[in-house]
Amino acid sequence: MTPGVFVDTSAFVALIRRNDEHHQNALIIAERLKQQRIRLYTTNFVIAEMHAGLLRYVGAAVAREFLQNVEAGRVAVLVVRAKPDDEAAARATIYRQTDKDYSLTDAISFAVMTRLGIREAWVFDKHFGQYGWQVLAP
């Protein structure tokens, strides 16, 4: 089993945006994870979603800087590429759970977490908890 925590887009947003309602909690969680030397994971889909959000709401310069920081290892997270089987599992989740509004990015995250054996997610939206993952609290 891979020890570590999965980082969702909402956690990245809460860390970056000082006016985000979850910013203070994100700072507390980030410090705790750093002190405990917990390995952080995310997917290329989350990075793409984050880049698109920054591009739209903050601007191209900040979006580029985020990508450069991830690429250079200045963001302490291992980016896991989704595999075709992860994508198939994600689509199956979306088709099967018609009472939920999971995004493709979230469903890909669930599939990657399952593949890697990760049970905890650093997230500030309802979807990971709905799916049954442990969600970090401050």
Stretch 77-106: mean pLDDT: 97
The matching CATH number, chosen from 3.40.50.1010, 3.30.70.120, 3.30.1300.10, 3.30.70.20, for 4-135 is 3.40.50.1010
User: What is the chain's mean pLDDT, rounded?
Assistant: 94
Task: Find the length of the chain.
Answer: 138
DSSP 81: P
pLDDT above 80 for 1: no
pTM over 0.85: yes
Longest dimension (CA), the chain: 40
Task: Render pLDDT for 24-78 as a digit per residue (tens, 0 to 9).
Answer: 999 999 999 999 999 999 999 999 999 999 999 889 999 999 999 999 999 999 9
